[in-house]
Amino acid sequence: MQSGVNSKYLKITLLLVSSLTIMAGATIAASLPEMAELFKDVEHIELLAKLVLTLPSLFMALLSPFVGMNINRFGRKRLLVIGMLLYGFGGTSGFFLNDIHLILISRALLGISIAINMTVASTLIGDYFKGEERHKYTGLQTAFVNIGGIVFITFGGFLAEISWRMPFLIYLAPFFILPLVIKYIYEPQFHPDELNVSFSYKQVYHVFFYSFIGVIFFYMVPTQIPFLLHVEFGIKGAETGAAIAMMMISSTIMSLQYKRIKQHLSYHKVYIIVTLGFGIGFLLVYCASTMSEVFIALGVVGLGTGMMMVNTMNYLLHIAPIKARGSVVGINSSIMSIAMFLSPVVVAPILHYFSLKETFGVCGLLLLVCSLWFILTKKDD
């Protein structure tokens, strides 16, 4: 570990870069209805307007493995600078463009930039930090992303009240962060022996599986909870946002405790806490009869989500040697993006046989079975 890693400015810069990933889609979600109205004469505009929200995730999934496989070839810092520039130009283009198809192209560029930024930032965390310091920093990173999500999404909704174009200006953020990247991020130097450690992807397949399943269930909250609250309680708008924010607040608190928890538990055993939090929380959603009970239930879900992604990232960085680090991180980013997209598709067959509330109960039971499987399965890590 080089002395530069101790710079508080380097740590802050990486946190700021990480916070940009949460802005991919939800920042402009409130603009979609007005955008669809403006371009109403365009064929298939309802589908195209929704693609404005989801297209970045598709390109993140497609490009992240490619970025990871070439990160050693092109260099971490160079790729990150390119990613930040693409993010700024691709993200803000929607403020100026008057063609929905050009806006979609700009969103594709945004997805490519996020694939670069996510992969490089996570790889650099593996390069700069080791052991408990890495556990502490990744927990802080997850907390920072959650807080950033609440701020950016709320601010985006406020700007959308002025004009559907205004939320696109939030994507100017990387232009303010880029000088910090240029000044404080440095290209890690490795001993040749560190680059020649043998590695088989069979060592990380099980972690990819955990990541995929975890994100499938995690994304049930933003995709299904708004409909459940509307059907069961006649709730929508601000109260729905507050309920989801409750999960993010709980998740933030838990992620900050990751280092302390990891001192006593293996990565495998942390997944037991993750699945228990998810499972019990989903069962509490099923049992909830008031909004207060829903808030409590989502708070319990947050106990699981707060450690899910941070544990997965640390697990992968722990297993993968330097030469495979970027590639493994890139593949995981792709898997997470695919899981986000597929979450409603995977849940749909259950919804065919059960009500939305019952579906949370069924998924809660499945997660408790998963936690039991984790308990019975001993894995050295």
User: How much is the pLDDT for 25?
Assistant: 62
Domain layout of the chain by residue ranges: 3-186, 201-376
User: How much is the pLDDT for 3?
Assistant: 46
Determine the Cα–Cα distance for residues 4 and 185; give it in Å rounded to an integer. Answer: 9
- Determine contact, residues 2/191, Cβ cutoff 8 Å: no
Q: Which residues neighbour 181 within 8 Å (Cβ) at sequence distance 6 or greater?
A: 13, 17, 77, 80, 81, 84
- Determine contact, residues 6/186, Cβ cutoff 8 Å: no
Exposed (0-12), middle (13-18) or buried (19+): which is 265, by Cβ within 10 Å? middle
C-beta atoms surrounding 295 within 10 Å: 17
C-beta atoms surrounding 187 within 10 Å: 10
pTM, full prediction: 0.84
Determine the Cα–Cα distance for residues 66 and 60; give it in Å rounded to an integer. Answer: 10
CATH architecture of the domain covering 201-376: Up-down Bundle (1.20)
DSSP string over 46-114? HHHHHHHHHHHHHHHHHHHHHHHHHHHHH-HHHHHHHHHHHHHHHHHGGGT---HHHHHHHHHHHHHHH
Determine the Cα–Cα distance for residues 267 and 309; give it in Å rounded to an integer. Answer: 12
Q: Which residues neighbour 86 within 8 Å (Cβ) at sequence distance 6 or greater?
A: 109, 110, 112, 113, 116
Superfamily (CATH H level) for 3-186: MFS general substrate transporter like domains (1.20.1250.20)
Q: Where are the alpha helices (DSSP H) in the chain?
A: 8-19, 32-38, 45-74, 76-92, 100-128, 131-160, 173-184, 205-218, 220-233, 238-255, 258-262, 267-287, 291-319, 322-353, 356-376
Q: What is the pLDDT along the chain (381 residues), one digit of tens a residue?
A: 444 455 889 999 999 998 887 666 667 766 777 888 888 888 888 778 878 877 888 898 899 999 999 998 899 999 999 999 999 999 999 899 989 999 999 999 999 999 999 999 999 999 999 888 999 999 988 888 877 777 777 777 778 778 888 989 989 999 999 999 999 999 988 877 667 777 888 889 989 999 999 999 988 888 788 888 888 888 765 677 778 788 888 988 999 999 999 999 999 899 999 999 999 999 999 999 999 999 999 999 998 888 998 999 999 999 988 888 999 999 999 998 888 888 888 888 998 899 999 999 999 999 999 999 888 876 666
User: How much is the pLDDT for 260?
Assistant: 92
Q: Which residues neighbour 43 within 8 Å (Cβ) at sequence distance 6 or greater?
A: none
Same fold, 3-186 and 201-376: yes
User: Which residue type does 69 have?
Assistant: M
Determine the Cα–Cα distance for residues 247 and 197; give it in Å rounded to an integer. Answer: 40
Pick the closest to residue 72 from 360, 322, 373 (CA basis). Answer: 322
What tokens does 162 get? 């002025």
